[in-house]
């Protein structure tokens, strides 16, 4: 049996698992993290029909005896950092893709650590012993197939896909296992009597293009044949920085939405300045009351990390969706700045202490010294701060 050398490690029900780890009374019981909207659910809750992004009332109807706990973002960030320490102790080639998952390349470690399957088993044991969390690992020749394998192995499993049997394994899976196949694409494929990845693999690329369009057609044709040439990359810097906040169902005033938007933009641009990054593409992501989503973006003429510049753009994007918000309600707002550059922001002349960049720097310095809530904008005074969404450890 020939083993691939790519590992995909993915923590199981991450937020809920941290809560169960830290509170023994929650272990083995259905746990929901988040009240108005489900941020995470334990496997006990998932077995009862609770899903991430589900409304809190709907989740409790599905699982009335669930225990609802508020999110503790600092605990999740700390746990993530500890897990990534285990990853880096396993191999120097680690590509983090979110706070709770990463790709690891172990091809050069056979002589000192053993076969990839052995390394994967030790990794699972190390995460459990050192951090106290369950993790699933997939081992395969490509990143795509390793990620599929870890998902199939959940919860707390290990699945090795031998190179000789990778297409046999892949082609038996439902078509929804292909990256990029959501509800809409799945409906189109199943309407065309395409139910498995093997069905996709039997089609000509031109047929998929006619059915799904050029981008999706070529993408799914390649994945169905396990063609994924991407290597595991370490040290890759983020292409964007963002933050989001679930605001729960119900009516929300324009002032409330603007305050949420301001707080998110403030958080993102401060992180950008701390990292020495500027960006030019502002994007807002919305989730409506009926759980449909919307994404809109605008590219600025030059990169910036200036809070008010990004905020003005985000406000225009939010205003463009006012009709949909009024009609369908809104349960989540997200803001990100993309096309990040390492070049410092170019200041306007003449320079003076009232310039936007100068003001941002002063605000950052005060918050760095006295805490993030030591200096607030007038509209934020007396308001509860949004919980910080943990980011992938650098």
Q: Which residues are catalytic?
A: 101
Is 287:332 a contact under the CB 8 Å cutoff? Answer: yes
Query: Rounded to an integer, what distance in angstroms lies between the CA atom of residue 130 and that of residue 123?
Result: 10
Under 8 Å CB-to-CB from 4, ≥6 apart: which residues? 116, 139, 140, 141, 142, 145, 146, 161, 163, 166
Tokens of 227: 């063609």
- Cis peptide before 155, with omega less than 30 degrees from 0? yes
What's the CA gap between 98 and 76, in Å, rounded?
12
Kind and range of the H or E element at 298? strand 293-304
How far is 143 from 36, CA to CA, in rounded Å?
35
- Give CA–CA dist 250/254, Å, rounded: 13
The crossing angle, in degrees rounded to 10, of helices 356-370 and 307-319 is 100
Contact criterion met (CB below 8 Å) for 364 and 274 = yes
CA–CA gap between residue 291 and residue 288 (Å, rounded): 5
Three-state DSSP string of 202-260: CCCHHHHHHHHCHHHHHHHHHHHCCCCCCCCCCCCCCCEEEEEEECCCCCCCHHHHHHH
């Amino acid at each position: 049996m020939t083993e691939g050398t790519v590992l995909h490690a993915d923590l199981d029900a991450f937020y809920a698992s941290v809560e169960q780890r830290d509170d023994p009374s929650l272990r083995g019981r259905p746990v929901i993290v988040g009240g108005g909207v489900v941020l995470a659910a334990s496997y006990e809750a998932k077995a009862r029909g609770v899903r991430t992004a589900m409304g809190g009332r709907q989740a409790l109807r599905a699982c009335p005896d669930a225990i609802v706990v508020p999110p503790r973002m600092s605990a999740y960030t700390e746990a993530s950092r500890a897990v990534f320490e285990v990853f880096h102790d396993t191999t120097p080639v680690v590509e983090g893709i979110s706070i709770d998952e990463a790709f690891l390349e172990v091809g050069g470690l056979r002589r000192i650590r053993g076969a990839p399957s052995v390394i994967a088993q030790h990794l699972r044991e190390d995460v459990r012993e050192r951090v106290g969390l369950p993790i699933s690992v997939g081992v395969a020749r490509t990143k795509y197939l390793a990620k599929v394998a870890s998902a199939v192995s959940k919860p707390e499993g290990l699945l090795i896909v031998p190179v000789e049997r990778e297409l046999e394994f892949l082609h038996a899976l439902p078509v929804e296992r292909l990256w990029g196949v959501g509800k809409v694409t799945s409906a189109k494929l199943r309407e065309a009597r395409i139910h498995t990845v093997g069905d996709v693999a039997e089609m000509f690329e031109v047929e998929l293009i006619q059915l799904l369009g050029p981008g999706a057609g070529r993408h799914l044709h390649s994945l169905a044949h396990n063609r994924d040439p991407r290597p595991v990359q370490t040290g890759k810097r983020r292409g964007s920085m963002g933050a989001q906040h679930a605001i729960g169902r119900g009516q929300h005033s324009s002032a409330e939405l603007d305050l949420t938007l301001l707080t998110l933009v403030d958080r993102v641009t401060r992180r950008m300045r701390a990292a020495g990054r500027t960006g030019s593409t502002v994007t807002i992501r919305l989730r409506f009351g009926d759980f449909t989503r919307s994404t809109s973006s605008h590219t600025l003429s030059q990169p910036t990390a200036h809070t008010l510049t990004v905020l003005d753009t985000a406000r225009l994007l939010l205003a463009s969706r006012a009709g949909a918000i009024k009609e369908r309600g809104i349960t989540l707002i997200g803001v990100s700045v993309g096309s990040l550059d390492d070049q410092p922001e170019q200041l306007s002349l003449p320079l003076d202490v009232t310039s936007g960049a100068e003001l941002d720097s002063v605000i950052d310095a005060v918050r760095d010294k006295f805490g993030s809530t030591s200096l607030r904008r007038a509209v934020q005074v007396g308001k509860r701060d949004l919980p910080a969404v943990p980011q992938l450890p650098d």
